[in-house]
Amino acid sequence: MSDHGAREFDLLIIGSGIAGTTAAITAAARGLRVGVLSKEPEIAESNTWYAQGGIVGPSDEDTPELLEKDIVVAGDHMNSIDAVRLLVEEGPPLVESLLRQELGVNFSRNASGEIDLTREAAHSVRRIYHVLDMTGKAIEEALVRTITGSGSVTIFPNTTAIDLITNVHNSRDAQEKYRHLRVIGTYALDNASLSVNAFFAPHVVLATGGVGNLFLHTSNPDGATGDGLAMAYRIGAEVLNAEYVQFHPTVLYHRDAGRFLITESLRGEGARLLNHSGDYFMDRYIPDAADLGPRDEVTRAIYREMEREDSDYVRLDATHITGVDLATRFPTIYSTCGSLGIDIRKDLIPVVPAEHYFCGGVKVDLQGQTSIAGLYAVGEIACTGVHGANRLASVSLLEALLWGRRCGNSVSDEHRRIGATLLSSIPEWVEPTVVEEFDPVLVNQDFLTVQSTMWNYAGIIRSRKRLTRAQADLDYMSHRIEQFYRGARLTRRIIELRNSVLASIIIVRSALANPVSRGCHFVE
């Protein structure tokens, strides 16, 4: 053991999106020394940063019962009722007390100076707080500002967690194998120097976000590669509902555009989907709710319509909207589309569905505790059961905020230390003796293969035949990638590839094990 002490904390959090930073702020306020790792050089870069639509907050029009009903209907009645009840009671007040009052997030207001409540699909009332169309950025900036200014939080940017450290898997003391499994830290790569260090804490929180990049088309930024899911699975943590992968109906389709979401709240303000020929079609698929039906149903309707017309995209029409100045209300969408020659006030917006959110994940309880002692999971990588088989819009940020808060408090309540003997029995990371250098062409090709396999065989519409093919192809790749990983000089990209293929296998196995179509798991 060398300088373990420099990287030893009361609480270690992997991920600095809304879930990780909220847990950090909470535990630091309770007197814990907290370490936060992010694989990004800029720690605000995360799925959280790109959230557009908003977060469910308190509203006079709303009641916990009504919110519960909407979440459960969207989730196709597969939700954990305990988790949903907790969320509807404790979530919205936390938006007011923590985000608005304590951290000063400046939610948009209407002409009368009240919070401007917006609407998204499958919500029966207006209850969504937003900051124009850049809600995630405003929230993440406030959270990052707070942890950066805290003397109790040490931040390690550009640091990629590789694998969790446990007493059973990693200790040199053979007796530890016979004790209960416990997570006590993580090995992590310094992306700049390519050196690997051990970080320790008696409580480790996975807050690593989503899995978008397992799929060819996604609304997520590049870092969403399912790292937390793979890390937890490798040490035997329980995983739940992994077949429920949500696709967002409207991501911009344009040759020159990167991934760019067109928020559901544009439909909430009246925009309508038209097919390639320019005809309105949603009422044929979802007669009662049309464009504002649950996200899984709208996505499948678009898929079917594209199939029927043999087209690559459909169009979103906001041109008829009056009463809302689109350029002021949706400035990011207005300017991004504008830069591509699309004036959303006058032109139709080409859109396609893309992977957006992972409803399943590492199984946790109401405190974010996983099935393994010392290991917690919060945010998109965790499965609390709130979302069931399909997530209601603007509930993800809320769930991450609430579970981040509860996890931070729970860890502070049961604060403990790792024994010195156990700590000193953990070896430094061992480099492979024969080191294979990183070849970006090989790694990129492997990534592309994983992504197209998942998109084509485990995407919006699945079949047993496609899933079986996906499993065989991914198993073969996993074997090859694992061998390569063991002899390679590690880079962030190699770590992500190894995690992506395992996370994909977890999703495909769950999908194969569940022949029943519910929510966003649809098997033909």
Site string for ligand FAD, 126-165 (x = CB under 6 A): ---------xx-----------------------xx----
Residue type, 245: V
- CB closer to ligand SIN, 184 vs 397: 397
- CB closer to ligand SIN, 233 vs 330: 330
* Residue 53 found at the interface with ligand FAD (CB under 6 A): yes
CB 354 within 8 A of CB 251: yes
- CB closer to ligand SIN, 118 vs 146: 118
Shortest CB 219 distance to ligand SIN, Å = 8
* Residue 70 found at the interface with ligand FAD (CB under 6 A): no
Among ligand FAD, ligand SIN, none, residue 171 binds (CB under 5-8 Å by kind): none
Following DSSP, what letter does each residue of 313-382 receive, concatenated?
-EEEE-TT--SS-HHHHSHHHHHHHHHTT--TTTSPEEEEEEEEEE--EEE--TT-B-SSBTEEE-GGGE
Q: Which of 254, 255, 249 is nearest to 219 (CA)?
A: 249
| Main-chain phi, psi angles of 467, to 5 degrees | -65, -40
Residues paired with 200 in a beta bridge: 8, 185
Shortest CB 277 distance to ligand SIN, Å = 25
| Main-chain phi, psi angles of 28, to 5 degrees | -65, -40
CA angle in degrees (0–180, nearest 5) for 313-315-321: 165
**What would the two tokens of residue 58 be?**
């308190």
Residue 115 to residue 376: CA distance in whole angstroms = 34
Shortest CB 44 distance to ligand FAD, Å = 8
**What would the two tokens of residue 204 be?**
């480790």
Catalytic residue among 127, 267, 295, 462: 295
Shortest CB 141 distance to ligand SIN, Å = 18
3-state secondary structure 237-292: CCEECCCCEEEEEEEECCCCCCCCECCHHHHHCCCEEECCCCCECHHHHCCCCHHH
Shortest CB 375 distance to ligand SIN, Å = 27
* Residue 16 found at the interface with ligand FAD (CB under 6 A): yes
Q: Tell me how crowded residue 65 is: count the other CB atoms within 10 A of its CB.
A: 9
* Residue 54 found at the interface with ligand FAD (CB under 6 A): yes
Shortest CB 69 distance to ligand SIN, Å = 18
- CB closer to ligand FAD, 99 vs 470: 99
* Binding segment (CB under 6 A) for ligand FAD, from list 16-24, 233-241, 414-422, 474-482: 16-24
Shortest CB 42 distance to ligand SIN, Å = 22
* Residue 15 found at the interface with ligand FAD (CB under 6 A): yes
**What would the two tokens of residue 333 be?**
């969408």
Shortest CB 379 distance to ligand SIN, Å = 13
Residue 180 to residue 184: CA distance in whole angstroms = 12
Among ligand SIN, ligand FAD, none, residue 147 binds (CB under 5-8 Å by kind): none
- CB closer to ligand SIN, 299 vs 453: 299
Residue 303 to residue 313: CA distance in whole angstroms = 9
* Residue 38 found at the interface with ligand FAD (CB under 6 A): yes
How, if at all, do strands 272-274 and 314-317 pair? antiparallel
* Candidate residues 261, 262, 402, 426; the one interacting with ligand FAD per rule CB under 6 A: 261
* Residue 357 found at the interface with ligand FAD (CB under 6 A): yes
- CB closer to ligand SIN, 202 vs 249: 249
* Residue 394 found at the interface with ligand FAD (CB under 6 A): yes
Give the relative orientation of helices 396-413 and 135-148 as an angle to the nearest 10 degrees: 20
Contact set with ligand SIN (CB under 6 A): 52-53, 263-265, 393-394, 396
* Candidate residues 380, 383, 481, 500; the one interacting with ligand FAD per rule CB under 6 A: 380
* Residue 185 found at the interface with ligand FAD (CB under 6 A): no
Residue 523 to residue 418: CA distance in whole angstroms = 46
CB 490 within 8 A of CB 499: no
Residue type, 496: E
CB 67 within 8 A of CB 229: no
* Binding segment (CB under 6 A) for ligand FAD, from list 77-85, 328-336, 395-403, 507-515: 395-403
Residues paired with 466 in a beta bridge: none
Determine whether 179 is an active site residue.
Answer: no
Matching residue, tokens 């990183």: 438
* Candidate residues 17, 57, 91, 408; the one interacting with ligand FAD per rule CB under 6 A: 17
* Residue 209 found at the interface with ligand FAD (CB under 6 A): yes
- CB closer to ligand SIN, 233 vs 313: 313
* Candidate residues 208, 213, 250, 384; the one interacting with ligand FAD per rule CB under 6 A: 208
Shortest CB 55 distance to ligand FAD, Å = 6
CB 396 within 8 A of CB 402: no
Fill in the DSSP letter of residue 291.
G
Following DSSP, what letter does each residue of 297-317 receive, concatenated?
HHHHHHHHHHHHHT-S-EEEE
Active site residues: 295
Note the residues at the interface with ligand FAD (CB under 6 A): 14-20, 37-40, 46-48, 50-55, 135-136, 160-161, 207-210, 219-220, 223-224, 227, 261, 357, 379-380, 394-397, 400
